[in-house]
A and B are shown apart, each in its own frame.
Chain A
Amino acid sequence: MASIGQIVEQTPSSEVLSRAQARAALVPDCMVEAKRIANTVIAGWHGRRKRGMGENFWQFRPYAEGESLSRIDWRRSARDDHTYVRDREWEAAHTVWLWADMSPSMMYRSTFAHVSKESRALVLMLALAEILARSGERIGCPGIMEPVSARNAAERLAAAIMHAPLTTGLPETSMIRGQSDIVLIGDFLDDADKVMERIAPLGRRGLRGHVVEIADPAEETFPYAGRTEFTDPETGEKLVSGRAEMIREDYQRAYLARREALGEALRRLGWSFVFHRTDHLASEALAAVHGYLSGMPAQKPGGLQSGGGMP
């Protein structure tokens, strides 16, 4: 029988460029998919849900001493004996940094999933870029694209990715300043401690972070049986298990424990953690991440588990 998992693009480890090209070829498709799912999420878009600078009406509130009289809404105030101020929704533009892991392990796709983890990560990143760009946020990608505020930020991000060199691991984040949001998309298969070593400095610098773990169903359920040789796509290490089905439960326990530890550490940091399986709909993860971004944690939609949330 065919093996359960495979590396989607057979890329020689040395030819970084060609893999970048392969990824670039992947991006337009991801862009299309990203726009499609972004539309489904935008349909339920209701602003930032905060009082602030903006054009849309937010609320009426009683006039307080010292406020500018010009802000009084006379039409409303005329209805009774009080004076009201019309608040508008806060529409201050944020900088949101998006980053997706492009390491070889992300190129894994099993027969149980429709797309590779990398594809799903790109789709999520571009879709987020599209959504955020439409709501006027500044979109950046560490090491790839400086934050820009433009309607076509998603396209520009896609173009930047297509031309970006291959990177592995977390990017250089020194250019990130101030109260930015950062969305990290990857498989985070390292130890939770190792991942947190990288992430914790960001959190301590005041960044609001959102971590999306992309997992293949085969990685989670371990559907192997019989004598099986496992290969690590990054290091090329090999492991042979005589009876793969015998270690299924142990593996699942270890795998979930890692995820649990990661989620717990992120929650302590004040970050949100979403994990997503590639056999589920991308929009589920997108809605969850977007919910966190807009300050409203997702209502745990079916099929999506939330590993953590905003305090």
Chain B
Amino acid sequence: MTGAPLPEPAASPTATDAGVPSTARPPRPRWRQTLGLLARNPTAAVAATVLLLIVLMAVFDESLAPSGPNEIAVEDRLQPPSPAHPFGTDDLGRDILSRVVLGAAVSLRVGFLAVAFALVVGALIGLLAGYYGRWVDDVLMRFMDVLFAFPAVLLAIAVLAVRGPGAGNTALAIGIVYIPVFARVTRASVLGVREEVYVRASRSVGASDFRLLTRHVLPNAAPPIIVQTSISLAFAVLAEAALSFLGLGTQPPNPSWGLMLAEGRGFIDLAWWLAFFPGMAIFLTVLCFNLLGDGLRDVLDPRQRTLMAGSGR
């Protein structure tokens, strides 16, 4: 069956002209297109750039920070911002700029770990529930409902109370809290994609369930999940701050933005910079994740995508 082209239909000139565009431009992969469209959305582009800088700051924290995070200099305590200490110093004379830089690594690591965990587990649950339906759906989603019914902070505190405080356990606790969100978003998206003709068409040539799920259902159900990931990252950073604020997350003397905020609270009328700079770091990160999420949502919506791509060329 291979080879041996049928001459007749191939010879029809109308088909040749109307079909494949004759430009030699190689097709761009979809992710490149997505990036290109994202770059054309100024808000999202700025947000992505700032986030990249924050991530780079977290990665190269040791070499960027002017001094060690836990270097105590009692004689310099509670210094206002100055050329020597741009963000000022705290009650133990530690440089706040250094602690904000080093805290980025802690806060972001917990955030990414938590969301990665929630994404993998939640998306898997949502995928199975949405695709198989019936009792699989009932069992998994009722379990998600139970998890969802707990107030988020209470659930996280319960997990930390059982497993003890610490960065890893904080990430786990936040991750567990966000699993139902990802499960629901994924399931809803999968329910729509599952009925698409191309899924049925692929089944009609004998594709296995695994293949259908990984190649056809998941990639087409992905856009809302990606947006949810970006927004959840913002919430996870906030949640880490909240838990550290409560004393359950990062433990002193290690810096995390939330913990610094908590520690600065006692000095808020005396030395505003203790709470202000870590607060700003949280604010900026969360804002950028949210803006990026909004941008991604626009870019990944197929209908809007066509509009934007059409106007761009």
| Chains A and B belong together in one complex | no
